[in-house]
Structure 1
């Protein structure tokens, strides 16, 4: 790899604003804000809108589609052709 052309790869904290989940990982993303982590060190923090702690698929709060209503709408539009 060429030196000087790649962004620095360092520890960063990603924090879910809604779910309250925060995890420390390595990334090339940058941030002006910092947070003190559990180990006593200070790391840049990136706030995200959604993660596995708040996503409906992972939390089990996903919406159930009205499939019966969709079937009736299809039958009204195209009829009951066999």
Structure 2
């Protein structure tokens, strides 16, 4: 395997700011800040994310269902239906 080709694969903590949850995993991502967190006596770099499965509406069951029925009919009413030649 070639040297200095692959990025470092190390433990990283992903923190969901909106839900307040953390996930310790391994990643090649480079954190933008020098912020760290201590878990079980070990110190890990932190990557803050806006949305995760803990806060995403689809996974939490708080998502909205949009009514798409009648959209084609509304378009035809508004702009008229094109007739065949």
Tell me the TM-score normalised to structure 2 length: 0.77
Q: More displaced, 4-13 or 70-79?
A: 70-79
- Distance in 1 of aligned mates of 2:63 and 2:27: 30
1:66 aligned residue: 67
Q: Which runs of 5+ in 2 are unaligned?
A: none
Instruction: Give the helix-richer structure, 1 or 2.
Output: 1
Tell me the TM-score normalised to structure 1 length: 0.80
TM superposition shift of 1:20: 1.5
- RMSD of Structure 2 on Structure 1 (CA): 2.0
Q: Deviations over 1:29-79 (max 9, x none)?
A: 122211111x11100000001000011100111112133553651452346
Q: Which runs of 5+ in 1 are unaligned?
A: none
